[in-house]
Amino acid sequence: MDSEHDELEMVGFFLHSFLRAAVNINALLPGDDVEQLLAADPASWYPASAFTGRMDALAERFTDFEPIQQRIGEEMMRLWFEFGPGRQIVTTSVDFLRFQTGSEGYRSVIRGPDHLVGAFDLVALDESAGTASVRSSTPFVRPMERGVLLGGLQLAGDTVYVDVVQDPADPDLFHIEYH
Amino acid sequence: MGDRPLTADEFLAAERLGEDAVLEGAELQHVFWTMRGRNKELERREAFWAATNQALEAAYAELESAKHALDLARTELERTNAELEQRVSEQVEEIVARAREVERLNAELRLQVQSRSRELAEALRKLERGRADALAPGQLFAQRFRLQRTLGAGGMGVVFHAEDTATSDPVALKVLRPHLNADVAHLQRFLSEAETASLLDDPRLVRTRQVDVSDSGRLFLVMDYIEGRTLADFLEAGRVIPGLACRLAAGIARALEAAHRSGVVHRDIKPRNIMVARDAPVVRLLDFGIAALLSSDTASGEALGTPRYLSPEQARGLPTTPSSDIYSLGVILYQMLEGRLPFDARTPKEWLQAHREADPRAMHAEHVLAELTQACLAKRSAERPRALALAETLDTLADERGAPAGPVLAHTLHQPATLLSLMQL
């Protein structure tokens, strides 16, 4: 995400979720002024730079940051499911796909000019084949979104196999397979 | 398991499968995807842990590097501390050693001062008992010196030719008059200067062997005995021919150079303190350090006798320098060339004033000799020539006028028949 997008704002809950996930996978240590950031009001909106700044600081610690970003995304979904409204919303993996790509999903955690906010749209779904495609135009990094999809698709417990890959020719397009 | 195919759950839960175990259809599909799902998850987890381990290794390497740098810094600090401690220790040792040395020197000095004070006190006691005994040839003086004959007498005392009964050496014994038993300061100075002068080792300088006080309280000096006469004896006859005057003055200048080179100033250059010996070197200086016995009241000149040969700075009571001796030599040279003294003064006070302020009387001698004499008589000490340069100039002038030198000079000067003919013009 470009930290210059100061017009973008994120809800405090999202920041909490991100920080908690990073701490849980030991990418962040509790002493790294996490407590100060966690003091933010979960219902309030904050400049997106609060998220991007922290992400950039994390990136400096890892030579290969993508697996970490992906894992954060997965953990954020687990926290949402275990401690947030996720359990009430998602009963099947398809429910998650529909929810996340709808206005109550992505658009519930970020706001700002449309061209900056972007979208996270379900563009194809074949339930019998267990495949789907999602296109992202959000300012979030793709590895983390891949993690969100991976984590979210396993929340309901109705899948034994999940894989999410980016289209080699179109990195904004995720191809999903689940069984 | 029996004949029926296994369910996916049975298959996945089984720890062992029989050879006839069968899995088919949807159950097989389920197991297939489950295994693949687990593999995928494992791959993702491996990638995550690899990235994490990589970061940990990098952090560890950084920590190791920081630790190494810290260890190096610590080692350097310890080394610097040890070095500083060593230096401080050495300096303390040095200071202590110096302090001990200072203490030792102080103790030594104290002992020397005490010893000197005792010597001085003893000398003063003797001097206080001093009486103007009549001394005569034949007497044994100071329980050691047999007086032979009187060589001369003056304001300061009497000079005897004596025999050192301890060594059988002939000596010149100068016994100072009791009124010259000076105060402690002058006595100390005299003893110090006499001691310094006794260290002078040059044939042109008559060595003072001993300075002491007799049991009867008479201060006396024991000097090398020189066969010859004083320059005063020669000057009684009047003017000296120029070549001879130059040669004699050159001899005085060379003797002064020897003393000045050793840092000693005579301060009482006058014809009576200049020996004209019977062997070379012809000209020799006597009585170093005697001036220290004299009163500081040079303004009245009472203790000096007639201050005819005093330098302007001595007349002013200022410190003397080697140049002061040159002035006195200038007066003697004038006297030899002109047959009279440079100033027409009668009393000590007039002499002192003349040295300070008056111009010497015009000379009749050759211009070059007059000019050289006037240079020696400059009121300002810095304008007078130095002893060695003066000696060389005078010898050259003497050579040009055919004056004898060395043993020939000595032999010539002490021939009775030639004495007057050489001295008079």
A160/B47 touch (CB, cutoff 8 Å), yes or no:
no
Count Cβ neighbours within 10 Å for each residue of B189-221 and write b for 16 or more, e otherwise: bbbebbeebbebebebbbbbebbebbebbbbbb
ipTM over 0.90: no
* Confidence (pLDDT) at A1: 47
B51-89 pLDDT tens trace: 999 998 988 999 999 999 999 999 999 999 999 999 999
Q: Which pLDDT band, with edges at 50, 70 and 90, does B292 fall under?
A: low
As a whole number of angstroms, the distance between CA B421 and CA B207 comes to 32
Contact criterion met (CB below 8 Å) for B397 and B403: no
List the structure tokens of A56: 């950039």
Judging by DSSP bridges, how do beta strands B145-153 and B157-164 pair with one another? Answer: antiparallel
Please count the CA atoms within 13 angstroms of the CA of B348 that sit on its side-chain side.
13
A62/B50 touch (CB, cutoff 8 Å), yes or no:
no
Count of CB atoms within 10 A of residue B2's CB?
A: 8
- The number of helix segments (H) and strand segments (E) in chain B equals 12, 9
What DSSP designation does B304 have?
T
* Confidence (pLDDT) at B65: 94
List the structure tokens of B241: 């021919």
B149-159 pLDDT tens trace: 988 777 667 88
B12 touches chain A (CB under 8 A): no
C-alpha dist (Å) from residue B5 to B11, B13, B25, B28? 10, 14, 10, 10
B212-270 pLDDT tens trace: 888 887 888 888 898 888 899 888 877 888 999 999 999 999 999 998 988 888 888 99
Reduced DSSP (H G I as helix, E B as strand, rest coil) percent helix, strand, coil of chain B, to 5: 55, 10, 35
Poorest-pLDDT segment among B234-243, B380-389, B415-424: B415-424
> Which of helix, strand or coil describes residue B365?
coil
Whether cis (ω within 30° of 0) applies to the bond prior to B203 is no
> Is it true that B140-224 and B228-424 share their CATH fold?
no
List the structure tokens of B65: 């590097």
Q: First-to-last CA distance in chain B?
A: 166
* DSSP H helical ranges for A25-163: 34-38, 49-59, 66-83, 86-89, 93-100, 114-117, 142-153
Q: What is the mean pLDDT of chain B?
A: 85
When mean pLDDT is compared over A6-15, A170-179, B170-179, B286-295, the highest value belongs to: A170-179
If you count them, how many residues does chain B have? 425
Chain B residues near residue A144 by CB distance under 8 angstroms? none
Whether the pLDDT of residue B351 is over 80: the answer is yes
* Interacting residues of B94 by C-beta distance below 8 A, sequence separation 6+: none
As a whole number of angstroms, the distance between CA B97 and CA A106 comes to 87
* Confidence (pLDDT) at B300: 38
* Interacting residues of B182 by C-beta distance below 8 A, sequence separation 6+: B190, B293, B294, B295
> Which of helix, strand or coil describes residue B102?
helix
B55/A25 touch (CB, cutoff 8 Å), yes or no:
no
* Confidence (pLDDT) at B367: 95
Please count the CA atoms within 13 angstroms of the CA of A14 that sit on its side-chain side.
22
**Of B239 and B109, which is predicted with more confidence?**
B109
> Where do the DSSP E strands lie in B177-328?
208-213, 219-224, 228-230, 274-277, 283-285
Count of CB atoms within 10 A of residue B391's CB?
A: 21
B53 touches chain A (CB under 8 A): no
Q: What is the mean pLDDT of chain A?
A: 85
Q: Cα distance from B60 to chain A (closest Cα, Å)?
A: 12
A136-163 pLDDT tens trace: 998 889 999 999 999 999 988 889 999 9
Topology of domain B140-224, CATH: Phosphorylase Kinase; domain 1 (3.30.200)
Contact criterion met (CB below 8 Å) for B48 and A71: yes
- Structural domain spans, chain B: 4-127, 140-224, 228-424
**Cα A7-A8-A9 angle, rounded to 5 deg:** 120
Q: Cα distance from A44 to chain B (closest Cα, Å)?
A: 32
* Confidence (pLDDT) at A120: 85
Contact criterion met (CB below 8 Å) for B204 and B255: yes
- The number of helix segments (H) and strand segments (E) in chain A equals 8, 7
Judging by DSSP bridges, how do beta strands A131-136 and A120-126 pair with one another? Answer: antiparallel
A9-27 pLDDT tens trace: 888 888 888 888 988 898 8
Q: Which pLDDT band, with edges at 50, 70 and 90, does B131 fall under?
A: low
Whether the pLDDT of residue B179 is over 70: the answer is no
Contact criterion met (CB below 8 Å) for B150 and B159: yes
**Of B377 and A90, which is predicted with more confidence?**
B377
Please choose, from the candidates B362, B310, B361, B369, the residue with its C-alpha nearest in 3D space to the C-alpha of residue B337: B369
Q: Which pLDDT band, with edges at 50, 70 and 90, does A115 fall under?
A: confident
As a whole number of angstroms, the distance between CA A159 and CA B38 comes to 11
Nearest CA in chain A to B37: A161
A162 beta partners: A178
B7-52 pLDDT tens trace: 888 888 888 888 888 888 888 888 899 999 999 999 999 999 999 9
B30 touches chain A (CB under 8 A): yes
Q: Cα distance from A133 to chain B (closest Cα, Å)?
A: 19
* Confidence (pLDDT) at B387: 96
- Select from B40, B54, B59 the Cβ nearest to the Cβ of A163: B40
Whether the pLDDT of residue B297 is over 60: the answer is no
Judging by DSSP bridges, how do beta strands A45-47 and B140-141 pair with one another? Answer: unpaired
B40/A162 touch (CB, cutoff 8 Å), yes or no:
yes
Q: Cα distance from A114 to chain B (closest Cα, Å)?
A: 33
Poorest-pLDDT segment among A69-73, A74-78, A105-109, B16-20: A105-109
- Select from A64, A67, A161 the Cβ nearest to the Cβ of B37: A161
Catalytic residues of B: 268
Chain A residues near residue B12 by CB distance under 8 angstroms? none
Q: Which pLDDT band, with edges at 50, 70 and 90, does B206 fall under?
A: confident
Whether the pLDDT of residue A102 is over 70: the answer is no
Q: What is the pTM of this model?
A: 0.50
> Which of helix, strand or coil describes residue B236?
coil
Rounded to an integer, what is the distance from CA B262 to the centroid of its chain?
Answer: 10
Topology of domain B228-424, CATH: Transferase(Phosphotransferase); domain 1 (1.10.510)
